[in-house]
C-alpha cells in the first residue's frame, strides 16, 4: 500500500512541476503574443503563437490525464502557480 502511495505522490509532484514549467512557457508566450498585437507588427505571428500555445497546453493536459487524476490536478496547481508568478512579474514592471 505504501508503494502505491509513494508512486502516486511522485506522479503528483512530477505533474505539479510539469504544470509549473508548462504554465511559465504558456504565459511567456501569451505575453509575447500581446506584445506583437499591440505593436502592430501583424497578426499572423500572434495567431501562430496563440495556436501553438493552446495546442501545447491541450497536449500537455491530455498526456497528464492519462497518468491519472492526481498528476492532472497537480499540474493544474502548477499552472495556477505559474499564473501567479506571471502576474506578479507584470505588476512589478508597472
Tell me the average confidence (pLDDT) per consecutive run of 10 residues in the chain, 94 residues long. 76 96 97 94 92 96 94 96 97 89
DSSP state of 43: S
- The domain containing residue 14 runs over which residues? 2-93
- What is the pTM (predicted TM-score) of this model? 0.89
How close are the terminal C-alpha atoms of the chain, in Å?
Answer: 51
The rounded distance, in Å, linking the Cα atoms of 91 and 73 is 27
Domain count within the chain: 1
Q: Helices 69-93 & 44-65, crossing angle to 10 degrees?
A: 150
Amino acid at each position: 500500500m505504501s508503494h502505491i502511495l509513494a508512486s502516486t505522490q511522485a506522479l503528483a509532484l512530477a505533474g505539479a512541476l510539469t504544470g509549473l514549467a508548462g504554465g511559465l512557457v504558456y504565459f511567456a508566450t501569451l505575453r509575447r503574443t500581446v506584445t506583437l498585437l499591440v505593436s502592430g507588427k501583424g497578426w499572423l505571428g500572434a495567431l501562430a503563437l496563440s495556436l501553438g500555445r493552446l495546442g501545447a497546453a491541450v497536449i500537455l493536459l491530455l498526456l497528464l490525464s492519462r497518468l491519472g487524476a492526481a498528476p492532472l490536478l497537480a499540474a493544474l496547481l502548477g499552472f495556477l502557480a505559474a499564473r501567479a508568478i506571471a502576474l506578479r512579474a507584470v505588476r512589478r514592471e508597472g
